Amino acid sequence: MTDSKPTLVEVAAVTPEGNVPLGIMNTDQALALPDHLDVVASHPDEEAGSTDVFVDRTALERLKTA
Protein backbone atom coordinates (compact mmCIF):
# COMPACT_ATOMS: atom_id res chain seq x y z
CA MET A 1 0.00 0.00 0.00
CA THR A 2 2.99 2.28 -0.31
CA ASP A 3 2.53 3.00 -4.03
CA SER A 4 2.76 6.59 -5.25
CA LYS A 5 -0.86 7.18 -6.22
CA PRO A 6 -3.33 7.91 -3.41
CA THR A 7 -5.40 5.00 -2.15
CA LEU A 8 -9.12 5.74 -2.28
CA VAL A 9 -11.55 4.64 0.42
CA GLU A 10 -15.25 5.08 1.01
CA VAL A 11 -15.93 6.89 4.28
CA ALA A 12 -19.15 6.24 6.18
CA ALA A 13 -20.60 7.71 9.35
CA VAL A 14 -21.55 5.15 11.99
CA THR A 15 -25.13 5.69 13.18
CA PRO A 16 -27.59 3.61 15.21
CA GLU A 17 -29.34 2.77 11.93
CA GLY A 18 -26.11 1.60 10.29
CA ASN A 19 -23.36 3.12 8.18
CA VAL A 20 -24.26 6.22 6.16
CA PRO A 21 -21.92 6.83 3.20
CA LEU A 22 -20.24 10.24 3.26
CA GLY A 23 -18.07 9.96 0.16
CA ILE A 24 -14.94 8.71 -1.51
CA MET A 25 -11.63 10.22 -0.39
CA ASN A 26 -8.00 9.29 -0.16
CA THR A 27 -6.63 7.78 3.04
CA ASP A 28 -4.98 11.04 4.15
CA GLN A 29 -8.27 12.90 3.86
CA ALA A 30 -10.12 10.16 5.73
CA LEU A 31 -7.59 10.17 8.55
CA ALA A 32 -7.71 13.99 8.76
CA LEU A 33 -11.43 14.02 9.59
CA PRO A 34 -12.18 15.37 13.08
CA ASP A 35 -11.86 12.76 15.83
CA HIS A 36 -15.34 13.53 17.16
CA LEU A 37 -16.88 12.10 13.98
CA ASP A 38 -17.64 8.38 14.33
CA VAL A 39 -16.57 7.12 10.91
CA VAL A 40 -15.24 3.99 9.26
CA ALA A 41 -13.48 3.58 5.91
CA SER A 42 -13.63 0.83 3.35
CA HIS A 43 -10.63 -1.48 3.49
CA PRO A 44 -7.93 0.03 1.24
CA ASP A 45 -7.37 -3.29 -0.55
CA GLU A 46 -11.04 -3.38 -1.63
CA GLU A 47 -12.74 -1.22 -4.26
CA ALA A 48 -14.02 2.00 -2.71
CA GLY A 49 -17.79 2.28 -3.01
CA SER A 50 -18.22 -1.39 -3.93
CA THR A 51 -17.33 -3.24 -0.74
CA ASP A 52 -18.88 -3.79 2.65
CA VAL A 53 -15.52 -4.42 4.33
CA PHE A 54 -14.86 -1.42 6.60
CA VAL A 55 -12.12 -0.61 9.13
CA ASP A 56 -11.81 1.96 11.90
CA ARG A 57 -9.27 4.81 11.95
CA THR A 58 -6.67 2.84 13.88
CA ALA A 59 -6.72 -0.01 11.37
CA LEU A 60 -6.73 2.43 8.44
CA GLU A 61 -3.61 4.16 9.80
CA ARG A 62 -1.85 0.79 10.20
CA LEU A 63 -2.84 -0.32 6.70
CA LYS A 64 -1.72 2.98 5.20
CA THR A 65 1.80 2.60 6.55
CA ALA A 66 2.07 -1.13 5.77
Per-residue pLDDT tens digits of the chain, which is 66 residues long = 555 678 999 999 999 999 999 999 999 999 999 999 999 999 999 999 999 999 999 999 999 887
Nearest CA to 48 out of 2, 6, 7 is that of 7
Could you tell me where the beta strands, DSSP code E, fall in the chain?
8-15, 18-26, 39-42, 54-55
